[in-house]
Structure 1
Amino acid sequence: MDRQGKVSGVEQAIRSYYEEAQVAERLVEAVLYSVNAGGKRIRPLFFLEMVEALGQTLTQAHFQVAASVEMIHTGSLIHDDLPAMDNDDYRRGRLTNHKQFDEATAILAGDSLFLDPFGLIARADFPAEIRINLVQELSDSSGTYGMVAGQTLDMMSEGKLIDLESLQTIHANKTGKLLTFSFVAAGLVAEVSTDVLTKLRQVGELVGLAFQVRDDILDLTADFEDLGKTPQKDLLAEKSTYPALLGLVESQQFLNHTLDQVQNLLKEIAEKCPFQAKQVGQLIESLRLNG
């Protein structure tokens, strides 16, 4: 299946979940407003590409898992944009959820997108043990031990000088954990060995690191048209970023070195199990600034 087909499958899985029945129409409207805003769908794409690379044929259950991680991500963007957080008016080139609706509705839409993915995974046609493992992994990646913790540390660090190790801790959780889920989840549904699952987790962690370094560079160098949101927000909020700590050129070199490490790990995985790395490798390469 080509990449656009995968994206369409993920979006349809989300819409199907919310169109089954509606208790509060305005809530669903707000949820789908942000879901339908577009985006790269990088997290579900990594999951689906990895599933295929590990020899699995994609089914509706795979799309439901892919949809679950995109729902969590979308909910986090709604909350990130709120006045109490990043206070942004635009996301993906159009009004943020709280500007299109209102602050209370945006909070509730984010709440739905944080909670509903677990029900979606519970419906997926996988053995119970796999579904339980997926739920645990997504919870750990998203909540107190992952994304939400990283977001808290990020807010606490605003206006402060922090070192590189502290910055990496923030982003390993804020950005890295949810990206790591995509790779670990693919290993779980493909039932790979413990050794391969460990390497998939390492791949995800490095991809998460690279993704954040890239985002920091683009926040500094890209304009609104390219970003779809207000540029240089990190600079205005006095947030520590990789360019601020390392310099712009060094950050670009760090990004490329991190992606090289990912490609080497994919080769190691291919030595341990049947693994077709081409499509995944291309998606990795797209994260380079000249990708």
Structure 2
Amino acid sequence: MSAGLDIALIQTRTPATPEAGLAHVEPLIREAAAGGAKFILTPEVSNFVEQRRDKKGQWVTDEDQDGVILGLRRLAAELGVWILIGSAVVRSGAAGDDRAANRSLLIDAGGGLVGRYDKLHVFDVDLANGETYRESATIRPGDGATVADTPWGRLGMSVCYDVRFPHLYRRLAKAGAAMISVPAAFTVPTGEAHWETLLRARAIETGAFVLAPAQGGLHEDGRKTWGRSIVVGPWGEVIAKLDHDEPAVLRATLDLSAVEKARASVPALKHDREFAGPL
């Protein structure tokens, strides 16, 4: 693994259609690349944000037909950068299940797709402020974890609500992930209470860099997201963060040798023990 990786997290307020979604995110990615970023990450649901089921279905298409995915593949090749599409809502391809996939996609500097991950844990919750989310009604959860190779080290892929399930992150770290992506569209109440704490905990537990680009602000469908994109180092230190929910580019430089140092200092990934119970 080489040191000194310049990255950028793109914080967005993605519109309700793929065409508008691409027009929204492309200038931010170009800005990031112009600033020297070699690896650029976008948030969850980067192709469109639309909860209303009567409108959402018209935009869900196959991965190889989605305008944002195709546009960002072309952009990666043009700019010579790696791009993680934090996620896009696309057809899952599962027989007998018409729900979509919430799919994270890793694009190399030639525009090729080199990593895919379907969000494992779907967000079904009734919040104290009256907000209700039933992601499982329209999103088919994935059934496997993904670690992808990059020129700088291995990337473990996750999405949003996954961050509350630490056993997934331990598996990613034990599979060699030096960086873990957590693209998100966090709600405001849960974001304010838990966002940074959860991300720092996952970094400490795994000894990995945690890269968390986020949606932020009031979306066209009435949803509000927390923003506050953040980069956390393998010792749990905050390297860079935004303190708002406006669209923006967050830059950071990762010294990837810090991963080995953190894991040598606290070698917990080597200390798992089998145990019985509880019953």
For normalisation by structure 2, the TM-score amounts to: 0.31
Which protein has the bigger helix share? Answer: 1
